[in-house]
Amino acid sequence: MDYRITVAKKMLLSKKGSLLGAVLAIGVGILVISIITVIFLGLQNAIIRDLKIYQFGDLMVTDETGLIDKSDQLIIGWFESNSRVIGATPRLTSSTDIEIRKDGELIELFGVPIIGVDPLRDPTVSELHKTVAEGEFVNSRNSIVVGSVVAEDLGGIQVGETLKLIITNRVDEEQTEFFVVNGISKTPGGTGLDSNLIMPIDTLRDLIDRPEETGNFIVKLTDPDYSQEIKELFLLSFSNDDFEVKTTQEAGRDIIRNFSSALGMFTLIGYVGLMSSAFAIITIQMMLISSKTRDIGILRSIGTRRKDVLIIFIIQGLIIGLIGASVGTAFGLAFTTYAKVTNMSFAGSLELEVEYDFASTFSTALTAFTLAVFASIYPAYKATKLQPLEAMRGV
């Protein structure tokens, strides 16, 4: 083995405290970045996951005009003739006013979004029905599921109670209808339709006087990887219409963009933290060089060149970087595994959708390693400036 590696390694190992400090400085820096990445990407993926299973499906078909006037059978039939489609279901959205009265006197009036679903088809395509925490999903014309946020606004309305809704139809006529609360919908983190009312789509169509219209169709595929292919096929088949089809990723683009920017910002903070680790390495190596001044003098006196001294201390930076990056990556992967296995969530909010991001892990480790090596350059340069005689007398 090259003597410079032997000397670098042995000098470093003789100062185990310094080595541990430097390794931890790098390792903890990587761990912090890993935690930030796991949490933000996990949150983003979890929100996309929930939006997909509750609202977007693998594909969501809308119309540029806002409403689709083709029959359900035509659209659903088209999709369900494809072997890669599990199912498709219509949805229609509107809004309603809810009055809160006490002794006949109006206390509060507020608007609530309302969504119409096909009680039979919807459970095959989405998991909205699974968000019903109390009671059951809509199953009859005048049954309604109340989102937990709305239920709270209504003073804690219970399953079985009656709810009076006032809905304005397309010709500005107010339609009043009584519904029995069939269930309360609640999702972790509120990613479902907790702020909505859910009722059968035919009931909603009647109330707003849009008997043949649909807001959107959501489609579930056997494999989301086919979403682009089926989207293109659909648009080709209905090329004379004004349909728009979005994949989950396209539908969640704004969310992804917002999370990406937040993730970028926090990762930057993590990297600044890693920079401070680099300063810690500089300090630790300067202390190491100070304590090894005599040894540097001895090495110089027996023929070690300045550039060899430089190399010895840069090798130490390489060793610190290698061990630090390995330890940090191991910590980071351990945390990622923990978060993945435990479906980590905070205070009962939505469970993170954690994926291993090996490219990001590798780039963080590489950055940390590079920083450690760069951090060792200045102390190494200072070590080369020591004159052998002065260095040997320095003790």
Partner 1 sequence: MSKVLEIKNLYKEFGEGDTKVEALKDVSIEIKKGEFILIVGSSGSGKSTLLNMIGLLDRPTRGQLVIDGIETSDLDDNQVSLFRNKKLGFIFQFSNLLSDLSILENTMLPRKIAKKTENLVSEAKELLKIMGLEEQLDKLPTKISGGQLQRAAIARGLINNPSIVLADEPTGNLDSETAKTIVQLMKTMAKKFDQTFIVVTHDRDQFGEVDRIITISDGRAFEADNTEMEVMVK
Q: Interface with partner 1 by CB under 8 A: which residues?
A: 2-3, 6-7, 10-11, 13-14, 294-295, 297-308, 388-389, 392
* Three-state DSSP class for residue 61: strand
Q: Which residues contact 143 (CB under 8 A, 6 or more apart)?
A: 136, 179, 180, 182, 199, 200
Q: Provide, rounded to whole angstroms, the least separation between the CB of residue 10 and partner 1.
A: 4
* Three-state DSSP class for residue 116: strand
State how far the Cα of 202 lies from the Cα of 141, in Å rounded to an integer: 8
State how far the Cα of 285 lies from the Cα of 292, in Å rounded to an integer: 10
Place of tokens 């102390």: 379
Name 178's bridge partners.
Answer: 164
Q: Which is nearer to partner 1, 218 or 299 (CB)?
A: 299
Q: Provide, rounded to whole angstroms, the least separation between the CB of residue 323 and partner 1.
A: 18
- The DSSP symbol for 57 reads -
Q: Which is nearer to partner 1, 6 or 260 (CB)?
A: 6
Is 311 in contact with 355 (CB distance < 8 Å)?
no
Q: Provide, rounded to whole angstroms, the least separation between the CB of residue 281 and partner 1.
A: 20
Q: Which is nearer to partner 1, 10 or 164 (CB)?
A: 10
- The DSSP symbol for 56 reads I
Q: Which is nearer to partner 1, 32 or 299 (CB)?
A: 299
Q: Which is nearer to partner 1, 352 or 391 (CB)?
A: 391
Q: Provide, rounded to whole angstroms, the least separation between the CB of residue 394 and partner 1.
A: 12
State how far the Cα of 4 lies from the Cα of 343, in Å rounded to an integer: 47
Q: Which is nearer to partner 1, 1 or 347 (CB)?
A: 1
Q: Provide, rounded to whole angstroms, the least separation between the CB of residue 330 and partner 1.
A: 27
Q: Provide, rounded to whole angstroms, the least separation between the CB of residue 17 and partner 1.
A: 15
Instruction: Write b or e for each residue in 217-229: b if 16 or more Cβ atoms lie within 10 A of its Cβ, otherwise e.
Output: bbbbbeeeebbee
